């Protein structure tokens, strides 16, 4: 108005009453619409869920994993993401053991291996939802579980 650029954002409607006290009356001659853009409103939960790509895995996850009814607590912490590489550690509270993670992220999965006195275990963490992962470890048996973001 009066050669001063002005932007208006409408939330949840397509028009609003505006008052411009002290300016000339608004006419078709003194108003110009440069563009009209529509933006989608996104909830806070949707924003958190949209953490996509490798960054989704960053953070602390905990839950349980095991074979059939033989389950125990497991915690996974991903401290660093660089491209499609992830590093951190897996902690098993029941026996106090800790295994370093140097893994690869491919889509919705993070894969890594570690070697312990029991042999080599290949682990895949797969995104189940905005705050959950499926845990699958394979050594001489298949270990499954679920982890939740903490």
| Structure confidence at residue 127 as a pLDDT band (50, 70, 90) | very high
* CA-based torsion, 90, 92, 93, 98: positive or negative: negative
Query: Is 76 within 8 Å of 126 (Cβ atoms)?
Result: no
- What SS3 class is residue 55? helix
| Structure confidence at residue 68 as a pLDDT band (50, 70, 90) | confident
Token digits of residue 79: 């401290």
pTM, rounded to two decimals = 0.66
Please give the domain boundaries of the chain with CATH numbers for all domains: 52-149 (2.40.128.20)
- What confidence tens digit (pLDDT) does each residue in 17-61 have? 555 556 666 677 766 676 676 666 655 554 444 467 899 999 999
- What SS3 class is residue 56? helix
Token digits of residue 89: 């550690």
């Amino acid at each position: 108005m009066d050669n001063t650029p002005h932007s208006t954002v409408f939330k949840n409607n397509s028009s609003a009453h505006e008052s411009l006290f002290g300016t000339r009356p608004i006419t078709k001659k003194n108003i110009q619409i440069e563009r009209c853009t529509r933006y989608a409103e996104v909830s806070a939960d949707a924003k958190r869920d949209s953490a996509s790509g490798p960054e989704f895995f960053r953070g602390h996850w905990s839950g349980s994993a095991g074979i059939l009814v033989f389950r125990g607590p497991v915690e996974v912490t991903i401290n660093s993401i660089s491209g499609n590489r992830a590093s951190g550690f897996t902690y098993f509270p029941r026996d106090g053991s800790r295994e370093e993670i140097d893994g690869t992220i491919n889509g919705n999965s993070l894969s890594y291996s570690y070697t312990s006195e029991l042999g080599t275990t290949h682990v895949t963490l797969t995104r189940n939802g905005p705050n959950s992962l499926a845990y699958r470890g394979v050594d001489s048996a298949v270990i499954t579980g679920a982890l939740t973001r903490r």
